[in-house]
Amino acid sequence: MENSNVANVRPDQDPLPDGIFWTPEIERLGRQVAHWVRIDVPGATAYGKMRVGKSSALTYLSETLPSLIGYPVEVVVWEIPQNAGESPREFLQSRMNDSGYPAISHRDIEVLKNRFFQHLEQRCQEKGARRLVVIVDEAQHAKKHHLGCLVEYFNKLTKKGIKPFFLLMGQPELGGAIKWEGVGRDMQIIGRFRVSQYHFRGIALGDLEEVLYEFDRPGPDGPPASLTAYLPQAYANGWRIADLAPSLREALELVMKQHNVQEDIRVPMQYLRSTVGAYLHHAADTGENPGFPSSAALIKCLKESGFLSVLSYYTEPKDDEGGTDEHKQ
């Protein structure tokens, strides 16, 4: 008898829906940033390892901060490229471009600054907001004089009656303990952007159910294609992607034991998505009942995703709970 879980024709679509997936870690960051804004913290740093979902967190923040804070705020996102312009003029023009302001040509930089800050002021007025949240992505590329420019921008906006908050987001080198010795003139930068820190991490094993549940959410076109097209019988019988969580957690714990990993593991969203996609293909190809996935199959999918090759990079000390680092000194 032909197994009804085997797909005779592979659907011409991705096994998982596109878009930004909510995670508890993204939610925690959002609530922390909202708290900082409410209590008038001037700025903060959020840092984390590559591929843990910082870009998704950035999108989530830009869309949800007003509702998290509870009153109108304007949000702009700037990105610091690796080859960020050295001169204050180049740096300013790039920030104007990031903000969607096209009039970036004038020989007098003070004229450019006045235009730019008027543009940001107008954006706030259109939202009925006095607060402006500036998210600076890839901030590990910013040099000291770039951060000095951000301090100047902060002061200029404040003089216009705007209450700014700057969130620097980037790689792990952006965060960590502050060395107060010999700070001197850097105190302006440290005081505004570095005292409040958030260590953004990947997905905890205990959060897998909540995250995989997001993969099951129907989109605008109905149920996820992965279930209705790849595993129609399993879907009809009530199976959902979130049901993979216990078996996937068990597979990860077996891998940790095999590799003698004593620390905690945080799974980046990119590798989790690839692992789940690989398993959906596996179940569709082999007819394996996804309600009873084998550890061997899931470990194979973890390997295919590339996660096992970078396993040690995503370990965290058991006493490091992530989150805020205000007390690091």
| pLDDT tens digits, one per residue of 174-230 | 886 555 444 456 777 888 888 899 999 999 999 999 999 988 876 656 666 567 778
- β-strand partners of 43: 166
Per-residue pLDDT tens over the stretch 85-139: 778 999 999 999 999 998 888 879 999 999 999 999 999 999 999 999 999 999 9
* CA angle 65–188–92, rounded 5-degree value: 65
CB distance 62 to 127 below 8 Å: no
CA 84 to the chain's CA centroid:
22
Distance CA 79, CA 169 (A): 9
Provide the mean pLDDT of the chain. 87
Structural domains in the chain plus CATH codes: 24-199 (3.40.50.300), 203-316 (no CATH)
- β-strand partners of 136: 78, 168
Q: Residue 321: what pLDDT? A: 60
CB distance 128 to 161 below 8 Å: no
Q: If pLDDT is split at 50, 70 and 90, which confidence band does 2 have?
A: very low
Backbone φ, ψ for residue 181 (5° rounding): -65, 130
CB distance 53 to 202 below 8 Å: yes
**Residue that is written with structure tokens 């992965």 in the block:** 226
- Identify which of 9, 21, 147, 26 has the alpha carbon closest to the alpha carbon of residue 78: 147
Q: Residue 10: what pLDDT? A: 56
Q: Dihedral sign, CA of 220, 221, 222, 225?
A: negative
Backbone φ, ψ for residue 167 (5° rounding): -110, 115
For every residue of 99-142, which 3-state class applies, written as one string? CCCCCCCCCCHHHHHHHHHHHHHHHHHHHCCCEEEEEEECHHHC
Burial class of 201 by CB neighbour count within 10 A (0 to 12, 13 to 18, 19+): buried
| pTM, to two decimals | 0.87
Q: Residue 171: what pLDDT? A: 92
* CA angle 29–35–41, rounded 5-degree value: 105
Q: Residue 192: what pLDDT? A: 86
CB distance 231 to 289 below 8 Å: no
CB distance 301 to 282 below 8 Å: yes
Q: Residue 329: what pLDDT? A: 38
Per-residue pLDDT tens over the stretch 228-259: 778 888 988 999 999 999 999 999 999 999 99
Mean pLDDT of 43-69: 92
Q: Residue 113: what pLDDT? A: 94
Alpha-carbon distances, residue 140 vs 46, 68, 168, 169, 214 (angstroms): 11, 27, 8, 8, 31
Distance CA 257, CA 307 (A): 15
Helix, coil or strand: residue 226: helix
pLDDT at 289 over 80: yes
What are the structure tokens assigned to 160, written together? 């216009």
Backbone φ, ψ for residue 261 (5° rounding): -85, 120
Mean pLDDT of 292-320: 92
- Identify which of 248, 135, 240 has the alpha carbon closest to the alpha carbon of residue 193: 135
Q: Residue 190: what pLDDT? A: 82
Distance CA 304, CA 53 (A): 20
**Residue that is written with structure tokens 């620097």 in the block:** 168
Per-residue pLDDT tens over the stretch 139-188: 999 988 899 999 999 999 999 999 999 999 999 998 865 554 444 567 77
Q: Dihedral sign, CA of 68, 69, 70, 75?
A: negative
Q: Residue 180: what pLDDT? A: 47
Distance CA 200, CA 214 (A): 20
